[in-house]
Amino acid sequence: MTDDVLDTADKLWRGEIDIASIHPVGGYLGGLAEPCDGVAFVPSFANVTAFSTPEGLVLVDTGSSFVAEAVHGELRRWSERRLHTAVYSHGHIDHVFGVPVWEAESASEGWPAPVVVAHEALPARFDRYIATAGYNEVINQRQFGVPGLRWPTEYRYPDTTYRSQLELDVGGTDFRLHHARGETDDHTWTWVPDHKVVCCGDLFIWASPNAGNPQKVQRYPKEWAAALREMAGLEPELLLPGHGFPVVGTDRVRQALTDTAMLLEDLVDQTVALMNEGARLDEIIHAVLPSPQLMERPYLQPVYDEPEFVVRNIWRLYGGWWEGNPAALKPAPERALAGELAELCGGPGVLADRALSLLVGGDDGAPSDTALRLAGHLAETASLAAPHDPAIGRVRATVFAALAEHATSTMAKGVFNWASRESAQRAESPS
């Protein structure tokens, strides 16, 4: 199995396999790699890294509840040692549900209970997840396109937390935990100097950074980039990320970390410069462009999140929620505005027809990016003006299905497909 995982990692780096075909934020992949002696990497949702020491195993990340048993089984074929310590790289639910399986095993074997370590902001995240379980259930179903996906309300909280740095010595191996705000406010990246390994959590995920997620809380791109540069400064030989595959070799690791840092820094700089000039959010999201050279890197493809959404998050971090359009400060109800516009142009059917015609491309067959965006506005306006009209509903379903097809990111596909499904279902069985 070792060769499979590392061989795939190498082919991905060379661009011989398209990252979209092995989506880094996907399901359980199975297998186990031993990229260096005493270190195991289980590609999973999310990845789990294990270090073997004479006192027991140290896990960095533990996976989601769906994969906990499988990951445990995979690691048990690799080592018989007890779990000594588990480090949560952050509190996202795909990283923190593996511990109970190991705890049950320790209890039945009569071993000491494992200790869970995380950053001090992590428990407040679990508290928030419990308080907003309904919201998170809805948006996760939308984001991943899996209706019925349940959101957990019980969590294995950490036993030990730290603020800025923490050194752990387990069986003679040194684990240096560093806090950084980045994808979350509670991230930990772990440097293991004996193996020259960095476990970076979701600060690198083999995709354009998840720094803009439209439905989730604030992300911190500038501090994120600084953390990546700090990691690069240690000259790791191996980068074991929370999603995607290992990056092997000092040069590749440095390149992956600094390229990602450059992408984030550039988005921050461009956005803040326009904010300082007094630009509106609308102008900024259409003016800021990521470096085409960086966007060609196989590990920076916008398959999960995308730079346009990062720009919005930078606006939210440094500015307020108001986007600069005076009419949007205290807007009319959407339905009232849509009804007014539909009436002015001759009815919702006119808007719907134009939306469909915008999907028909030019000479090369493909609609332009702006045409697709406009089609979305017009179909949504028609639907808001005539929410119970099945013909309009079918147009909305068609238009957002087309937008989903042209989108690259999980985030955009999730929202567009949800809208399309909603209208398709309503058109089939109007209430």
**CA separation, residue 150 to residues 26, 54, 122, 141 (Å):** 17, 38, 21, 8
Smallest separation, CB 47 to Zn ion (Å): 9
Instruction: List beta partners, residue 109.
Output: none
- Closest CB to Zn ion among 236 and 242? 242
Smallest separation, CB 174 to Zn ion (Å): 25
According to CB under 5 A, which one of 32, 33, 39, 46 is a site residue for Zn ion? 46
CB-count exposure of residue 421 (10 Å: 0-12, 13-18, 19+): middle
Determine which helix (DSSP H) or strand (DSSP E) holds 36, and give its type and residue range.
strand 33-36
Smallest separation, CB 12 to Zn ion (Å): 18
Separation CA 129–CA 373 (nearest Å): 33
According to CB under 5 A, which one of 81, 84, 92, 254 is a site residue for Zn ion? 92
Number of residues that bind Zn ion (CB under 5 A): 5
- Closest CB to Zn ion among 202 and 380? 202
Smallest separation, CB 93 to Zn ion (Å): 9
Query: Rg of the chain's alpha carbons, rounded to an integer?
Result: 23
Name which of residues 242 to 271 contact Zn ion (CB under 5 A): 242
- Closest CB to Zn ion among 72 and 92? 92
Of 42-50, 272-280, 292-300, 325-333: span binding Zn ion (CB under 5 A): 42-50
| H helix runs in 64-121, sequence order | 68-76, 99-109
Give residue for tokens 């089609």.
375
Conformation bin of residue 82: beta by default, left when phi > 0, alpha when psi is -120 to 50: beta
- Closest CB to Zn ion among 94 and 306? 94
Of 241-249, 298-306, 327-335, 370-378: span binding Zn ion (CB under 5 A): 241-249
- Closest CB to Zn ion among 47 and 417? 47
Smallest separation, CB 304 to Zn ion (Å): 10
Instruction: List beta partners, residue 52.
Output: 57
Name which of residues 149 to 208 contact Zn ion (CB under 5 A): 202
Separation CA 380–CA 348 (nearest Å): 10
Question: What is the edge-to-edge ordering of all strands in the sheet holding 173-180?
Answer: 165-170, 173-180, 187-192, 197-201, 238-241, 247-248
Smallest separation, CB 266 to Zn ion (Å): 24
Smallest separation, CB 143 to Zn ion (Å): 12
- Closest CB to Zn ion among 46 and 300? 46
Residues in contact with Zn ion by CB under 5 A are 46, 92, 94, 202, 242
